[in-house]
Amino acid sequence: MKKILNRDSNVVEEMLSGYVKAYNRYYEQIPGHNAFMYKGRRKNKVALVIGGGSGHEPLFSGFAGRGLADAVACGNIFASPNPQLILETAKAVHEEKGVLFIYGCYSGDNLNFDMAEELCEFDDIKTAHVRVWDDCASAPKERIEDRRGIAGDIYVIKVAGAACDAGLELEEVLRITEKARDNINTIGLATSPGSIPGLDKPTFELGENEIEFGMGLHGEQGIERTTMKPASELVDRMYRELKAEMDIKENDEVAILVNGLGSTTLLELNIVYNELAKHLEKDKVVVHDSEIKNFCTCQEMGGFSITILKLDDELKKYYDTECFSPYYAREEIR
């Protein structure tokens, strides 16, 4: 498998170095660590630290900036950052108002961020965390805390960043961020496997004409493997899952994210959104905002995911505030 690399063992370091050098007007690396922070972050507020395995770019590295995260802790490819790395990242941006950690709900991330919070206690750093579990295909609702975090991370980080910048106390930032997390659901499908830099084999096997609904970002088993179908049928199945999961009704107000997994083109993703919009219009669901892009990827994996964030006035307030990073920017919606 052809990849543009130097040494397999140095992929994350070189990726991060290139990113920070290219955008050094915004970022600086935390010395000695695969982590960086936003230079222009506000002072005297709750610090927002995000992180997880690399290989899903632009998540997480592309979501630090104005109105977003203050710093990012980057693990190795598809592996959690270690507790010491997370601790050093938190210490670099801590402003005596506490630190909120946001990460996807995976066993390695859960363990390492928990350990990092314990280490923070020794430095008198007050912390809280929000585990994102938006992948509704990965476990039933009664085991929601077992669900994985995928593209819904983006909306959780967006809302949390705005809440932090509003100067709220840690407990209030946590409440609003959890509220955002609990109003987000995502379902995806895979059309082809991804890869891991340095390995010759793909992350999983899928027949030429096969697809899998609900497959995880690293190739975790989904809910149904079937043959390839027209976009209208794919979206119909996925929308029905989300509609039932979220009890979506007429006049509900939502934000929509169509996320490419790496190799699916924008042409295809726009067709997906077109099909989704037909369902939303038919059900008289109010689309407050929408995004179509590669946000949460898996090294050229084929397929896409659909994320719905159900909004109320409070969430809309934080969702609508401006934010900027080189890979995700929003103007205020008026």
Q: How many residues does the chain have?
A: 334
The Cα–Cα gap between 316 and 298 comes to 29
Q: Is the dihedral of CA 135, 138, 139, 145 positive or negative?
A: negative
Using only C-alpha atoms, what is the Rg of the chain?
19
Q: Identify the H or E element spanning 291.
A: strand 286-293
| E strands, 78-209, in order | 99-104, 127-132, 184-192
Query: Which residues contact residue 321 at a Cβ distance below 8 angstroms, ignoring those fewer than 6 apart?
Result: 67, 162, 165, 330, 332
Residue (of 329, 326, 265, 323) closest to 291 by Cα position? 329
Query: Which residues contact residue 183 at a Cβ distance below 8 angstroms, ignoring those fewer than 6 apart?
Result: 309, 310, 311, 312, 315
Residues carrying an active site annotation? 56, 218
Triad 112, 38, 309: Cα angle to 5°: 70
